[in-house]
Amino acid sequence: MAKEDTFETLKFLTPELCFEIADKVGSPCYAYDLNWLKKHANDALAFPNAYGLTVRFAMKASPNAAILKLFDKMGLHFDCSSVHEVKRAMAAGVAPEKCSLSSQELADGFEELVAKGVKINCCSLLQVEKFAAKCPGKEVGLRFNPGMGSGGTGKTNVGGPSSSFGIWYEWADQAAEIAKAAGCTVVRIHTHIGSGSDPAVWRKTTGMSISLCEKFPDATTLNLGGGYKVARMKTDKGTNLQTDCAVVKDVFEEFAAKFNRKLHLEIEPGTYLVANSCALVCLVHDVVKTGTSEGRTFIKLNAGMTEVLRPSLYGAQHPQVVVPRTPTEEKASYVVVGHCCESGDLLTPAPGEPETISERLLTKAAPGDVYVVEACGAYCSGMVTKNYNSFPEAPEVMIVDGKVHLIRKIQPVEDIWKNEVDLPAGAF
C-alpha cells in the first residue's frame, strides 16, 4: 500500500509551466531544465583527479542535439555506443576528436571515423583484430571487464562473468599481442562496472582497473566509465562525486609513485548528468476502478512505455506528481498505467519487480489533470518502445529562465509508416 513518506512534489517545474507545456506544446512532452543540466555538468567537471580529467557524456542517456551542444560548449567530451551515435554527435557540431566509441558492434566503416579523429575502445578480442586489420599503426583503447560489477538490477550490471561487455581481464595479454603485431599502440584502458554502483564496490574496481595499466606501458589514460548512483526518489541515496569518489585521486597518485606514470583520468557519466534534469509532462486520461472492496483504482495516462520504459523493463522507480486543474488537498492511492495496449505498461511497479503492481500516494486525480513523471532525463527519450501502438515520438522542450523552448517537434504520425514499401502488384 502507498505510504505518506512516498508522496512527491515537483522538482523544477511549476504548475503554471506544466499547464503551459501540456496545453500549448502538447503532451506527452519531455521538459528539460537548463540550470539543472549545467549544475550536474559542473559537478562532474569537478571530479577529484590527480593528473587531469576528461568528462565524457554517455550520450545514449539523452542524445537530443540541444543537450549535446550545451555539454560541448561546457567542455565535455562524448562517449558513443555506436557509429550512428558518433555521426549524431558530429551532426550536432561536436568535433570528431571529442568522440570516443565503445560499442558492442564495431560496425563497418569505423576506420573512416578513426581517420577523422574519433577514438576507439575495442570491446572484444575480435574487435581488436578488426581494428588491427583496418587501422595498423594507429593508437587504440581497450575496454576490459575487470571481473566484477555493480548495478541496481541484473540488467544494469555490466561487469563480472555474467556480462558480455568488454574484454575479460584475463585475456589482456592476448589483446596486447594482437595490437602489437599490427604496430598499434594501446594508449587507453577502459572499464565500466554498471549503473547504480555501490561506492565501496566502485572504489575496489578502481584499483582493479588501474592494475590493468601495468600490462600496457604506453597507456596514458584510464577511463573508469560511469555508473554514479542518482537519487531519483526521496528514499534514494545518491553518489556524491566529491566525497564518495575522492579515493580515485589517491589511487592514481599511488600508481604514479610506484610506476613513475601519471595517468589521465576519464569518466563517462550519463544518468548523473541528466536524470533529474527532465520531467515528462502528460495528462490523466482516465481514472477507473476494479471491484468493490478489494479492487484498485487506476490512473490511465496519455503516455507510457512509449515515453518511459524503465519501470516496465527494470521495475525502476520514478517520482510522480498529479498537478490538478482544480487545486485540492485530497490524496488517494493509485496504480498508474500507460496508454499502450500492453499489460506490462505499468508506471508504478514494485521496486526492482517490473511485473509486480504497486500503488502510489498521490494528489486526487481527475481526467484532464496534468501528470508529471520526474527524473526522465536518462534512458527515457533515448530508450523507448518507439511507435508501439503507432504512437508518435513525443516533443521535447528546454526550460531556460522560466521560459519554454521547443527542442524537438512531435513526430508527424504519417512518418511512422513513411519508409514502408509496397510489394509488387499481384504479389497477394
CB 25 within 8 A of CB 406: yes
Could you tell me the CATH number of the domain that includes residue 248?
3.20.20.10
Query: Alpha helices of 46-82 — where are they, by DSSP H?
Result: 65-73
pLDDT at 202 (0 to 100)? 65
79's grid cell:
562517449
CA torsion sign, 35 to 36 to 40 to 46? positive
Residue 417 belongs to a domain: no
CB 203 within 8 A of CB 246: no
Q: Are 343 and 265 contained in the same domain?
A: no
pLDDT tens-digit map of 348-357: 999 999 999 9
Could you tell me the CATH number of the domain that includes residue 17?
2.40.37.10
Burial of 97 (0-12, 13-18, 19+ CB in 10 A): exposed
Rounded Cα gap, residues 11 and 37, in angstroms: 13
Q: Are 234 and 361 contained in the same domain?
A: no
CA torsion sign, 412 to 417 to 421 to 425? negative
Residue 284 belongs to a domain: yes
Rounded Cα gap, residues 298 and 68, in angstroms: 37
Which one of 205, 240, 269 terminates a domain? 269
Q: Are 172 and 100 contained in the same domain?
A: yes
Residue 46 belongs to a domain: no
Rounded Cα gap, residues 309 and 386, in angstroms: 10
Q: Are 298 and 247 contained in the same domain?
A: no
pLDDT at 155 (0 to 100)? 42
Rounded Cα gap, residues 371 and 283, in angstroms: 5
CA-based nearest residue to 144, from 182, 170, 119: 170
Residue 317: is its pLDDT beyond 60? yes
Residue found by looking up cell 564518495 in the block: 244
pTM of the model: 0.93
Residue 310 belongs to a domain: yes
pLDDT at 158 (0 to 100)? 47
Top pLDDT among 194 and 97 is at 97
Q: Are 304 and 373 contained in the same domain?
A: yes
pLDDT tens-digit map of 332-344: 999 999 999 999 9
Q: Are 307 and 332 contained in the same domain?
A: yes
Q: Are 255 and 314 contained in the same domain?
A: no
pLDDT tens-digit map of 258-269: 999 999 999 999
CB 354 within 8 A of CB 346: yes
Residue found by looking up cell 566503416 in the block: 109
- For residue 80, give the H/E element and its range: strand 77-80
CA torsion sign, 419 to 391 to 410 to 270? negative
Q: Are 312 and 232 contained in the same domain?
A: no
Residues 6 or more apart whose Cβ sits within 8 Å of residue 9: 321
CB 51 within 8 A of CB 213: no
Residue 354 belongs to a domain: yes
**Number of domains into which the chain is organized:** 2
Residue 305 belongs to a domain: yes
pLDDT band at 136 (very low <50, low <70, confident <90, very high): very high
Mean pLDDT of 182-193: 93
Rounded Cα gap, residues 40 and 45, in angstroms: 9
E strands, 253-401, in order? 264-267, 278-289, 297-301, 320-323, 331-337, 349-350, 353-357, 360-363, 370-373, 396-400
Least confident residue range of 58-67, 153-162, 177-186, 303-312: 153-162
Cis peptide before 217 (omega within 30 of 0): no
Mean pLDDT of 328-332: 96
Residue numbers of the domain that contains 390: 4-31+275-409
CA torsion sign, 71 to 76 to 77 to 80? negative
CB atoms within 10 A of CB 380: 25
Task: Kindly list the distances between the CA atom of residue 327 and the CA atoms of 16, 370, 371, 374, in Å, as whole numbers in the listed order.
Answer: 12, 12, 14, 20
pLDDT at 27 (0 to 100)? 97
Which one of 269, 298, 316 terminates a domain? 269
Q: Are 209 and 322 contained in the same domain?
A: no
Residue 63 belongs to a domain: no
Q: Are 243 and 303 contained in the same domain?
A: no
Buried b (16+ CB within 10 A) or exposed e, 205-216: bbebbbebbebb
Q: Are 250 and 293 contained in the same domain?
A: no
pLDDT tens-digit map of 378-398: 999 999 999 999 999 999 999
Q: Are 102 and 223 contained in the same domain?
A: yes
Residue 120 belongs to a domain: yes
Beta strands at 396-400 and 53-58: parallel, antiparallel or unpaired: unpaired
Which one of 269, 293, 325 terminates a domain? 269
CB 358 within 8 A of CB 412: no
